[in-house]
Every structure is written in C-alpha cells, then in structure tokens.
Structure 1
C-alpha cells in the first residue's frame, strides 16, 4: 500500500509540473544506507511523511512544533529504521503516538521555540539500525560543517523524496535577512546558503536534525525549522538549537540512555 500510494501521487505531480529541477533538493547529497542514520525518524499522518525527527530515548521523538501543531496524537505515527518511503526496509517499524508536548511559548508566526516532543505509545526497540542520538551546542565557525538527512521534497512545494538522503551544510552564515522578528540567535541556529553549499533542506525536511561529530560521537545540534527556498542559491536555513532546551528535555522526557 505504501508503494502504490506514493507512486500514484508522484505520477500525478510529475505530469502536472514537468521535468524536475535537480538543483533544488536535499537529494543533491548522498543516498543513505542502512545504519547510516539510526536516530532518524519519519513523522507521518495517514501513512504519508510530513516531517523528520530524531530519537531522544526509547519513549520520545524530537521534532519541530510546526510539523505537528495541527494534529492530534492519535493522527500521528513515527517510523524508524526507514530508508525508502516506497518499500519496507529491514527492521522498519511504525509506532503510534500517545502524547505531544510543545515547548511553552512556541510562536507559530516567528518560529521561536519551534520544538516538540512526541511520546510513543510503546517503547522504541533499539537495534543496529535504530538508536538515539545525544545533543549538544553547535560549533559555528566558518570551518565547521554539519550533516542533515531527510526525505525532503525534490522541488519547492513538491512531494517527499522516495529515499533518505543527506547533505553537508556549512556554518558561519548570517540569517539577519530574516529580520529580528524571525531570527533569534539565542534559540536559533543559522547554517547553509554559502557559495560552497550544493543544496539546502526542502519542504518536508522540517524536524530533521542537523548533526555534528565531536571526538567520534554524533550530536544533534539543531532541528530544521524554516528557510526561504531550497535551491542552491537560497538563503541560509534556520534551525532550532537543541542545547537551550536541556531543562525541558529532562523534565518532560527524562534522561537519555548512556552511550555504549
């Protein structure tokens, strides 16, 4: 059913829009293999991908508040160990959502505090292809880089990509073009949009984590929140920082597991 639904909608959209512009998509990056991003989750409604997210612990998923603001918990599902939105993958599993918790003060208009926690109805089973990721503050010098993986649209306003892919983004960008009422540097992170960036996150990448490696350990430093388009010449992307929400994470979702 997953394959038939995706294929039918893809044919309709492709026919209506013509040839896709391959420069305007997260798929300029690298196609993911099993186990590359065990922390990634797909947030779905009615079996259709709407956003990304990451595994915080065995009961909680972190995503963008803007992704799930209009939905009841019973309408949401999260899928883990998934590479393809068309075919079932080994260890792929879907979890119902029991509760959605938004950060107090979330502002839909500005995107301030664009973060939410989804509690699964049953514990997430960890395995080779399913695991949590720690979080930390970003390193933001022009020499620093991050990785974002997602199923973002292949063009502005389009459908989700059928395959999980990743892109590398640079830091040192300036998001002042968004305006003071849209970019709050204490809670938001600015990345991408430089001359060396070959792609940006697209619609349906919201909620996916921006990740950096430190001493061999991966950390989620941001959560994709918003941008002004996903072409190679687009403005930088704004991410919600993860570290400022440490007390909230601990209060709502408890501790993370100890890394093995």
Structure 2
C-alpha cells in the first residue's frame, strides 16, 4: 500500500510538471483551420520569413499592425496571399511585392495606440475561392461582451517560439472594455479605439499581430503587437477597432488611387 501511495504521488507530481510545461505563448485552445476557409488571410513577410498576419481589405490593399515593420530597416517586405501552408506548394498561393507601406501617422514604438498599417500591393490581387477581401466594420460602435469572434494566424505555437506551417484559428469571447480596464487586467490603458477578448489559455500571440478579429463575418479588430504573456487570463488580448479608423483607411486608399 505504501508503494502504491508513493507511485500515485509520483504520477500526480509528473502530471503537474507536464501541465506547468505546457506552452503559454501560442494560440492556446486553437486548431488547424480548414484549408482556404479564410481567403482574406495574409502573411506579411520580411526576407522570406513570416513576421505578422494581415488581411485583404481591397484588391490592392492589406491591413495589418504598424509595429510589424518597426525593425525591418532594409529588409524586403512581401505579402503572401492564398496560403494555408507557408511552405508547401499550393496553386492559389502568390507572393506580392509592396508598393507602399503606410503606418498610421500617430503610431509609436512605445505604445499600442493606433497600431495599424496599410500595405499597398504592387498590383491587384488575383481573386478566387482562396483569395477574397474581408468586409470590415464601418459602424463605430462596441461589439457586445460575450460575442464569439474568430482570430487566425501563423503565430507561435510553443513557448520555444516554434511557428506553425499551417494556418491556426480559435474562437474567443469579447470582453467589455470596463472589465478589461480594471486594475487587475489592463488598468485603464484600453482606449475607446480598442477592444478586448478573453485570454484564458486561448489567445493570439507573437506572429498573429495584424490579423483580423472577425465577428459575424466582419473584421471588427486587428491584433495589436503589444508585448505580454500570451494566454494569461489577467492580460486579455487587445485589438484595434477597425471602425474607429474608417476615415483614415478610406483616405489612404483613395489618395493612392488619385495619385
């Protein structure tokens, strides 16, 4: 009986150790997406390496996060569309050069405020079943707390920083701003131009920045590039509200067409 008790105690300790070792910095609770079911998804790449997500908002424009290109310097930026796997050959995949990269003029390195980036492709995207723009919210109002929204990306899936080859996704409930701003969470730093989603072991993470938070088939938010521990229930995910920047988005795209 004593040996059995020791054995059980050892199993319990082993189980606890394994739980503690589970990676926190990943899309926790997520799974591989169905191939090309999110035809708006873009991989923003620097020197051939995925750095951020993004999504097609018009034939020649991808919306992402401003912080994604902060440290690019002389790196070559491309956008990959039509991909499920980043490495495998797929008929729908195509890599586009960037004609213009336009970060929001008020974005800053030391804050996640105004963390938006518009990328103008060198040519209009070739649309098809695997490549389509995503409608984005223009009505400037908050999404109701508890609303289930979809987030996807090729962000890291382990605490060692390993990134998946295939697109991952998860569904997250929206958290109301007042709760998100409580001292035990983000302590008043979430502005009216941001929204939150719960992060209890289910979260977006590094490499997912710039991707869309999709609610009811419409992009409501963009994953910010803020530094935090992914999957920490005390640090809900923060997303830039797209509708709050509708005039800027429309203005940049219209200005490029007029030029």
TM range, smaller chain: 0.7 to 0.9
For the residue of structure 1 that corresponds to 2:36, the secondary structure is coil
> 2:45 corresponds to which residue?
44
After superposition, residues 1-260 of structure 1 pair within 5 angstroms as 21=22, 24-26=25-27, 28-71=29-72, 75-136=76-137, 140-156=143-159, 158-173=161-176, 174-176=179-181, 177-180=185-188, 182-184=189-191, 186-193=192-199, 197-213=200-216, 218-225=217-224, 226=226, 228-231=228-231, 233=233, 235-254=235-254
Instruction: Provide the TM-score with structure 2 as the length reference.
Output: 0.80
> 1:14 corresponds to which residue?
none
**Closer/same/farther in 2, CA of residues 20 and 87 from structure 1, 3 Å limit:** farther
Q: Alpha-carbon deviation of 1:148?
A: 0.1
Answer yes or no: is the 8 Å Cα contact 1:156–1:229 preserved in 2: no
Instruction: Provide the TM-score with structure 1 as the length reference.
Output: 0.80
Q: For residues 231 and 191 of structure 1, what CA distance do their matches in structure 2 show?
A: 11
Structure 1 or 2, whichever has the larger Rg, is: 2
- Root-mean-square deviation (CA), in Å? 2.3
Higher mean displacement: 137-146 or 82-91: 137-146
Answer yes or no: is the 8 Å Cα contact 2:186–2:235 preserved in 1: no
Q: For residues 160 and 110 of structure 2, what CA distance do their matches in structure 1 show?
A: 20
| Partner deviation per Cα, 1:79-109 (whole Å, 9 max, x = no partner) | 0111112212231000011111111211221
**Closer/same/farther in 2, CA of residues 232 and 202 from structure 1, 3 Å limit:** same
Number of residue equivalences: 228
Consecutive unaligned residues in structure 2, runs of 5 or more:
1-19
Answer yes or no: is the 8 Å Cα contact 2:40–2:134 preserved in 1: yes
